[in-house]
A and B are shown apart, each in its own frame.
Chain A
Amino acid sequence: MVYSFPEEVLEYVFAFLSSDKDRNAVSLVCKSWYEIERWCRRRVFIGNCYAVSPQIMIRRFPEVRAVKIKGKPHFADFNLVPERWGAYVYPWISAMARSYPWLEEIKLKRMVVTDESLELISKSFKNFKVLSLSSCEGFTTDGLSSIAANCRNLRELDLRESEVEDLSGHWLSHFPDNFTSLVSLNMSCLGSEVSFSALERLISRCPNLKTLWLNRAVPVEKLASLLRRAPQLVEFGTGACSTEIRTDIFSNLVEAFSGCKHLKSLSGFWDVVPAYLPAMYSVCSRITKLNLSYATVQSPDLVELISQCSNLKCLWVLDYIEDAGLKALSSYCKDLQELRVFPSDPYSAEPNVSLTEQGLVTVSAGCPKLQSVLYFCRQMSNAALIAIARNRPNLIRFRLCIIEPQAPDYLTLEPLDTGFGAIVEHCKELRRLSLSGLLTDRVFEYIGTHAKKLEMLSLAFAGDSDLGLHHVLSGCESLRKLEIRDCPFGDRALLANAAKLETMRSLWMSSCSVSYGACKLLGQKMPNLNVEVIDERGPPDSRPESISVEKLYVYRTVAGPRADKPDFVWTMDEDGALRFS
């Protein structure tokens, strides 16, 4: 009988469960399993910092060692969320400082982190090991100094893509001389120069360093010296490589790279002078991830490099690669799983490179393991999308951005409904989809019908009516995140599918046609949702209720309306009355 197992045995068994889904399921079996599980849960993931409060988390899981929290909605990446919207981490840190003295890991994404928070982290958790701030903001290099100075057991410091106020590079020198535990350092987002000798000494004394992503300020002539001190590196990101090429720099680099027998991932390459690329040829055959998205290098040089990376699994590159380069990619890199092509000149009306839909079609045909795509281009056709869908039914993520909003099939001038329809129909495991181009309600009908595993959908300038939104909300069973901008979706589909919103993490709608009245209604009827209206024109009450709100962010929560709203955010309350924070 299961119930006669001693707790310790159950705890031991539960320790093998790493997935949150499994642990949540286990908690539901019976009260005693709930109790046992909650005492032994060590990792907590909070997908929306406002869905739950720190107190609730701490009350349920008293022995947590690792926390991952996400804050702002994804569209904040594109400046659609006004400054001061929220997602402050300090309340979490201060609560955890009191209750989780043994906390080891904090990973944050799109949150506002202050120097005060960083200092509190550095002083509150004696065994602190991992700090990852992805796309965060609000702190300066002074905060980093606190971390460097006080976290004696720090293993990872990852600042990827965060906005840091760069007061000076001196923070790195705060790592004490007896600090040797560093395994991973990502400072690629920082602007100022750090003391190079401090960096060298740090690297020399940390024998377990596996990941090092330098910032732009580290010049190419210094790379060799660093690599020689850390030949065990697995992931390496260069700084700017723009110094005019010199034989000695080049040959040093060649030698240094050849000593790195474990390198699997390369990044950086800002302003890289193409002549430097061959220095890396010796490691290419082992490389599985290559981020060339800052390298403004033309296609032939890119192809030279890529053609040697037969084990490449993940490539991020600018559209300088062009169709020709993608063709080469598809023939050399048969293990490719993820491809991201970014635009080099997104704002010009005319294409500056010869990159079309054909490049993507070729890769989809030639790379059988391709499952994740992010592709910026200027033209697309239904035929191409259908071909991609038929070639790659194993796609999991498909994000296509046709740069011109509402661009139709360039061959037939039709909407791209059938093309995207083919994608969702063939790619049955599709979890993430971003649409672009000219799209009618019909594409949403296809999505609602076929995209049963879809978890995240991003829409812009698409659809004709509420029917489109209705198809998505009523058909996509696995939908967790829906973000919409500039689509003619309004009250009816939203209100008719209000219950669906409780099954999702969040819904974002900006520049759509949702009226203030509907928002209020939604807020009243759905107490488990926070219905937040973001409107910088002033209180929505000062306008007729039929007026559409600027932005709407709806998310499920057990924490009630949030108390830290700025003056341009209103939570639609059960009382129907406006409440300011």
Chain B
Amino acid sequence: MSPPLLDVEGGGRGNAPLMSSSASGDCISQSGSGLKECNFLGLSDCSSVDSSAVSNVCGENKNNLNFKATELRLGLPGSRSPERDSDFSLLSSGKLDEKQLFPLLPSKDGICSLMQKSIVSGNKRGFSDTMDGFSEIKSSVFTEGKWMFNANGSDSGTPQSVVEAKLAGNAGINVILTNNSSGAQPSMKKEVPTRAPKEGQNKMNGSNNNSSAPAAKAQVVGWPPIRSFRKNTLATTSKNNEEVDGKPGPGALFIKVSMDGAPYLRKVDLRMYSTYQELSSALEKMFMCFTIRKCGSQETPDREMLGENKFKDLLHGSDYVLTFEDKDGDWMLVGDVPWGMFIESCKRLKIMKGSDAIGLAPRTMEKSKNQN
């Protein structure tokens, strides 16, 4: 199984992203074909010369529209006519036969077989225009290779969708196929069910609504699609029912978390954690950015120097304490009662400045200072 495809911050190019297990070895060897001047949109207002065939189609001829409109055509962002692009080396190779840019018509037996030769993706053109720093990209030819689908419903047994993506292009480019076949997102912390192995893409572009703490049980954000008020209702009513052995209480319990000085609130699902430590770590991660900025403005501006340890010091030290509002509307320090009791009575959380929390429980304040 290929390693998860990491999102690249700051344009790192080290990782060759893999969509399926067989991709990497083959991809470099396939020769890229040239890029063709393309217009994605098939609209009549397109000024690209090559799109003249497409430009006539404005929806009148449905068949043609489907054909032409699905051709991969490359419109340079910001460019008005293709003639300008003589500067770009991308155009130097010849133009592909239009019929080959024919990725989206299904073949007779219903299986979509993409082009047998490499096809063009428009995305990389954008690099040239906007990413001056990436010199290797200018000369790159990024193509998406052959795809084969075995999404055949008549297979006995488990249907498989295996996408073999063969990539050509400079190794330096961090390539992410836009047409991978996986539906999984990294915030989906459990495995994609093996019944339908869709290999590949584990991009780190999961939703940030999820807390970054390790989940007590694996859950996908927003799935199943049940509204929060319903989830919270079930969470509290299910207390009245028998609890299944060995399982944490069902239902999610989303509560708001605010922090003094932070511009916005977050929400956490208390049922994702089973101890105070887990919750604390999760909150640290969530709110680290605010605290670091605060520190940065005062002392070291260099963000990297502030490690997690320093933040922990901030949280456990005299700077911040974690408090919660209980069902009676009182603000209490977190940590006094057993976890189970805590999540049943906690309505919201607040990360307060230590100085503000003095009135709450001197003993606990002492405790937190001692943890330094």
Beta-carbon contacts under 8 Å, B275-308 to A: none
Interface-centre pick from A271, A347, A520 (highest chain B CB count, 10 A): A347
Residues 506-522 of chain A, each 1 if its beta carbon lies under 8 Å from chain B, else 0 = 00001101111110110
Interface-centre pick from A82, A537, A546 (highest chain B CB count, 10 A): A546
> Could you tell me the distance in whole angstroms from the C-beta of B17 to the nearest C-beta in chain A?
9
Q: Is the CB of A493 within 8 A of B104?
A: yes
Q: Is the CB of A441 within 8 A of B207?
A: no
Q: Which residue of B lies closest to A410 (CB)?
A: B195
- Taking chain A's interface residues, is the majority helix, strand, or loop, or is none over half, making it mixed? loop
In-complex Cβ contact of B153 among A83, A84, A401, A415 (8 A): A415
B145 located at the interface, meaning its Cβ lies under 8 Å from any Cβ of chain A in the complex:
no
Q: Is the CB of A548 within 8 A of B205?
A: yes
B159 located at the interface, meaning its Cβ lies under 8 Å from any Cβ of chain A in the complex:
yes
- Across-interface contacts of B240 in A (CB, < 8 A): 242, 271, 296
Given contacts A440-B159, A470-B104, A495-B41, contact A544 B193 (CB under 8 A): no
Given contacts A84-B264, A546-B124, A576-B129, contact A495 B183 (CB under 8 A): no
CA distance A496 to B161 in the complex (A): 24
Q: Which residue of B lies closest to A437 (CB)?
A: B196
B234 located at the interface, meaning its Cβ lies under 8 Å from any Cβ of chain A in the complex:
yes
Q: Is the CB of A550 within 8 A of B183?
A: no
Of A45-53, A54-62, A482-490, the one touching chain B: A482-490
CA distance A517 to B184 in the complex (A): 22
- Across-interface contacts of A294 in B (CB, < 8 A): 233, 237
- Across-interface contacts of B155 in A (CB, < 8 A): 414
- Taking chain B's interface residues, is the majority helix, strand, or loop, or is none over half, making it mixed? loop
Given contacts A460-B223, A545-B131, contact A490 B159 (CB under 8 A): no
Q: Is the CB of B41 within 8 A of A496?
A: yes
Q: Is the CB of A498 within 8 A of B207?
A: no
B16 located at the interface, meaning its Cβ lies under 8 Å from any Cβ of chain A in the complex:
no
Q: Which residue of A lies closest to B347 (CB)?
A: A191
A345 located at the interface, meaning its Cβ lies under 8 Å from any Cβ of chain B in the complex:
yes
- Across-interface contacts of B126 in A (CB, < 8 A): 516-517, 520-521, 545
In-complex Cβ contact of B123 among A135, A499, A510, A546 (8 A): A546
Q: Is the CB of B207 within 8 A of A550?
A: yes
Residues 87-110 of chain B, each 1 if its beta carbon lies under 8 Å from chain A, else 0 = 000000000000000011010001
B23 located at the interface, meaning its Cβ lies under 8 Å from any Cβ of chain A in the complex:
no
A5 located at the interface, meaning its Cβ lies under 8 Å from any Cβ of chain B in the complex:
no
Q: Which residue of B lies closest to A402 (CB)?
A: B224
Given contacts A474-B69, A542-B11, contact A465 B222 (CB under 8 A): no
B9 located at the interface, meaning its Cβ lies under 8 Å from any Cβ of chain A in the complex:
yes
Q: Is the CB of B225 within 8 A of A404?
A: no
Q: Is the CB of B181 within 8 A of A347?
A: no
- Across-interface contacts of A551 in B (CB, < 8 A): 207
Q: Is the CB of A511 within 8 A of B205?
A: yes
Residues 347-373 of chain A, each 1 if its beta carbon lies under 8 Å from chain B, else 0 = 110001000000000000000000000
Q: Is the CB of B237 within 8 A of A461?
A: no
Of B250-258, B312-320, B352-360, the one touching chain A: B250-258
In-complex Cβ contact of A467 among B106, B184, B267 (8 A): B106
- Across-interface contacts of A521 in B (CB, < 8 A): 40, 75, 77, 122, 126
CA distance A80 to B196 in the complex (A): 24
CA distance A359 to B82 in the complex (A): 60
- Across-interface contacts of B52 in A (CB, < 8 A): none
CA distance A343 to B43 in the complex (A): 46
Residues 428-455 of chain A, each 1 if its beta carbon lies under 8 Å from chain B, else 0 = 0000001000101110010000000000
Q: Is the CB of A498 within 8 A of B40?
A: yes
Q: How large is the interface on A (under 10, 10 to 19, 20 to 34, 35 or more residues)?
A: 35 or more
Interface-centre pick from B77, B219, B254 (highest chain A CB count, 10 A): B77
Given contacts A242-B240, A347-B217, A544-B174, contact A486 B40 (CB under 8 A): no
B208 located at the interface, meaning its Cβ lies under 8 Å from any Cβ of chain A in the complex:
yes
A-B contact count (CB 8 A): 316
A197 located at the interface, meaning its Cβ lies under 8 Å from any Cβ of chain B in the complex:
no
CA distance A470 to B69 in the complex (A): 10
Interface-centre pick from A376, A403, A405, A514 (highest chain B CB count, 10 A): A405
Q: Is the CB of B123 within 8 A of A491?
A: yes
A398 located at the interface, meaning its Cβ lies under 8 Å from any Cβ of chain B in the complex:
no
B221 located at the interface, meaning its Cβ lies under 8 Å from any Cβ of chain A in the complex:
yes
Q: Is the CB of A496 within 8 A of B7?
A: no
CA distance A547 to B121 in the complex (A): 13
B1 located at the interface, meaning its Cβ lies under 8 Å from any Cβ of chain A in the complex:
no
- Across-interface contacts of B198 in A (CB, < 8 A): 406, 464, 488
Q: Is the CB of B264 within 8 A of A83?
A: yes
A532 located at the interface, meaning its Cβ lies under 8 Å from any Cβ of chain B in the complex:
no
CA distance A408 to B193 in the complex (A): 10
Q: Is the CB of B77 within 8 A of A548?
A: no
CA distance A494 to B66 in the complex (A): 13
Residues 218-233 of chain A, each 1 if its beta carbon lies under 8 Å from chain B, else 0 = 0000000000000000
A78 located at the interface, meaning its Cβ lies under 8 Å from any Cβ of chain B in the complex:
yes
Residues 222-258 of chain B, each 1 if its beta carbon lies under 8 Å from chain A, else 0 = 1111111111011001101100100100111010000
Given contacts A345-B250, A442-B151, contact A413 B157 (CB under 8 A): yes
A77 located at the interface, meaning its Cβ lies under 8 Å from any Cβ of chain B in the complex:
yes
> Could you tell me the distance in whole angstroms from the C-beta of A331 to the nearest C-beta in chain B?
28
Q: Is the CB of A161 within 8 A of B227?
A: yes
Interface-centre pick from A417, A470, A545 (highest chain B CB count, 10 A): A545
A478 located at the interface, meaning its Cβ lies under 8 Å from any Cβ of chain B in the complex:
no
Q: Is the CB of A346 within 8 A of B226?
A: yes
A234 located at the interface, meaning its Cβ lies under 8 Å from any Cβ of chain B in the complex:
no
A462 located at the interface, meaning its Cβ lies under 8 Å from any Cβ of chain B in the complex:
yes
- Across-interface contacts of A470 in B (CB, < 8 A): 66, 70, 104
B265 located at the interface, meaning its Cβ lies under 8 Å from any Cβ of chain A in the complex:
yes
CA distance A510 to B228 in the complex (A): 19
Residues 168-207 of chain B, each 1 if its beta carbon lies under 8 Å from chain A, else 0 = 0000011111111111110110001101101001011111
In-complex Cβ contact of A465 among B112, B225, B231 (8 A): B112
Interface-centre pick from B42, B114, B206, B234 (highest chain A CB count, 10 A): B234
Q: Is the CB of B123 within 8 A of A342?
A: no
In-complex Cβ contact of A406 among B46, B195, B225 (8 A): B195
Q: Is the CB of B201 within 8 A of A78?
A: no
A177 located at the interface, meaning its Cβ lies under 8 Å from any Cβ of chain B in the complex:
no
B127 located at the interface, meaning its Cβ lies under 8 Å from any Cβ of chain A in the complex:
yes
Q: Which residue of B lies closest to A545 (CB)?
A: B126
- Across-interface contacts of B179 in A (CB, < 8 A): 465-466, 488, 490-492, 513
A497 located at the interface, meaning its Cβ lies under 8 Å from any Cβ of chain B in the complex:
yes
Q: Is the CB of B153 within 8 A of A414?
A: yes
> Could you tell me the distance in whole angstroms from the C-beta of B237 to the nearest C-beta in chain A?
5
Q: Is the CB of A491 within 8 A of B121?
A: yes
Q: Which residue of A lies closest to B227 (CB)?
A: A77
Q: Is the CB of B196 within 8 A of A406?
A: yes
Q: Is the CB of A546 within 8 A of B176?
A: yes
B59 located at the interface, meaning its Cβ lies under 8 Å from any Cβ of chain A in the complex:
yes
> Could you tell me the distance in whole angstroms from the C-beta of B194 to the nearest C-beta in chain A?
10
Residues 15-36 of chain A, each 1 if its beta carbon lies under 8 Å from chain B, else 0 = 0000000000000000000000
Given contacts A83-B265, A442-B110, A543-B8, contact A401 B225 (CB under 8 A): yes
Seed contacts A347-B250, A406-B195, A496-B42; 5 additional CB < 8 Å A-B pairs: A78-B227, A406-B192, A408-B158, A462-B183, A487-B183
* Interface residues of B, Cβ cutoff 8 Å to A: 7-11, 13, 40-43, 46, 59, 65-66, 69-72, 75, 77-78, 103-104, 106, 110, 112, 114, 121-127, 129-131, 134, 137, 142, 147, 149, 151, 153, 155, 157-159, 161, 163, 173-185, 187-188, 192-193, 195-196, 198, 201, 203-209, 217, 219-231, 233-234, 237-238, 240-241, 244, 247, 250-252, 254, 264-267
* Interface residues of A, Cβ cutoff 8 Å to B: 75, 77-80, 82-84, 135, 161, 163, 189, 242, 270-271, 293-294, 296, 342-348, 352, 376, 401, 403-408, 413-415, 417-418, 434, 438, 440-442, 445, 458, 460-467, 470, 474, 485-488, 490-493, 495-499, 510-511, 513-518, 520-521, 524-525, 535-538, 541-551, 575-576
A-B contact pairs, 6 of them (CB 8 A): A78-B222, A80-B209, A135-B227, A345-B251, A346-B234, A496-B104
